[in-house]
Amino acid sequence: MTGCVTIIGLGPGDPRLLTQAASEALAAAQDLIGYIPYVARVPERAGLTRHASDNRVEVDRARHALELAASGRRVAVVSGGDPGVFAMAAAVFEAVEAGDPAWARLTITVEPGITAMLAAAAKLGAPLGGDFCAMSLSDNLKPWDVILARLEAVLRADFVISLYNPISSARPWQLGKALGLAAEFRSGDTPVIFARAVSRPDEAIRILTLDRARETTADMATMVIIGASATRLITRGPGDQPYVYTPRSVSPA
């Protein structure tokens, strides 16, 4: 087959954080497929056909990309951040596995991007300096009981936890439940980071204690990072946000 699919991470928002490889893949594409806000981040140009779609249609979007590629087109599927982290790469391969056997013979490439937790961590210091994990609080594709069980496991293991998709209009209560569970395992002064729209013009970053975080609002553009027991703040000058880091070393029990 002459067509191909490239699944591209656009990074957190600042165009300077888009990788060179991703830029080259976008420049070579004939078709651009993705969620409406992500497609809008790619400049229009001659020879590029844009296919923007709404949220929650990831597998349909993936099938469309594969059909176009099977017809000989060079297709770019875009995600914010990294396409392999709660994003379109998994949806494309899910569609390949369940779809036309010929799709497995297509050339499918994943171009990584800077995911939200790394962009947020870089703004603050090194909160992910020790062991950490990433979880999505969205229960669209997995039961809430599974989310709670996994969250309890990593809280018991004392990981730093990066929470994607922390809240939405359809599920405004889940972040509060997650932070309430965290309070059963972490002290009230544990640092919790709310990093919204990192690298974009409306960026807003707050460092709160776990006690205060439980009363704080967020949205789908917010990355929430819950510190481990070892996560520390380094005080700076007046008006400066403290540095946050988690040591690489762990003291013996």
Backbone angles phi, psi at 58, to 5 degrees: -60, -45
pTM, 2 dp: 0.93
Alpha-carbon distances of 143 from 136, 146, 167, rounded to whole Å? 11, 5, 15
Average the pLDDT over 96-120 and give the result.
97
The CATH number that domain 117-245 falls under is 3.30.950.10
Strand partners, 193: 207, 225
What 8-state DSSP symbol labels residue 71? T
Tokens of 22: 């991703």
- CATH topology (fold) of 4-114: Cobalt-precorrin-4 Transmethylase; domain 1 (3.40.1010)
Amino acid 163: pLDDT: 97
Neighbours of 77 (CB within 10 A): 31
Rounded Cα distance between 77 and 73, Å, is: 12
Tokens of 120: 């947020």
| Share in percent of the chain as helix, strand, coil (round to 5) | 30, 25, 40
pLDDT digit string, tens, across residues 27-82: 999 999 999 999 999 999 999 999 999 888 999 999 999 999 999 999 999 999 99
Question: Cα 54–96–102 angle (5° rounding)?
Answer: 125
- pLDDT greater than 70 at residue 84: yes
Average the pLDDT over 157-185 and give the result.
92
Q: What is the mean pLDDT of the chain?
A: 95
Angle between helices 144-156 and 174-183 (to 10 degrees): 30
Could you tell me where in the chain the CATH 3.30.950.10 domains are found? 117-245
Could you tell me where in the chain the CATH 3.40.1010.10 domains are found? 4-114
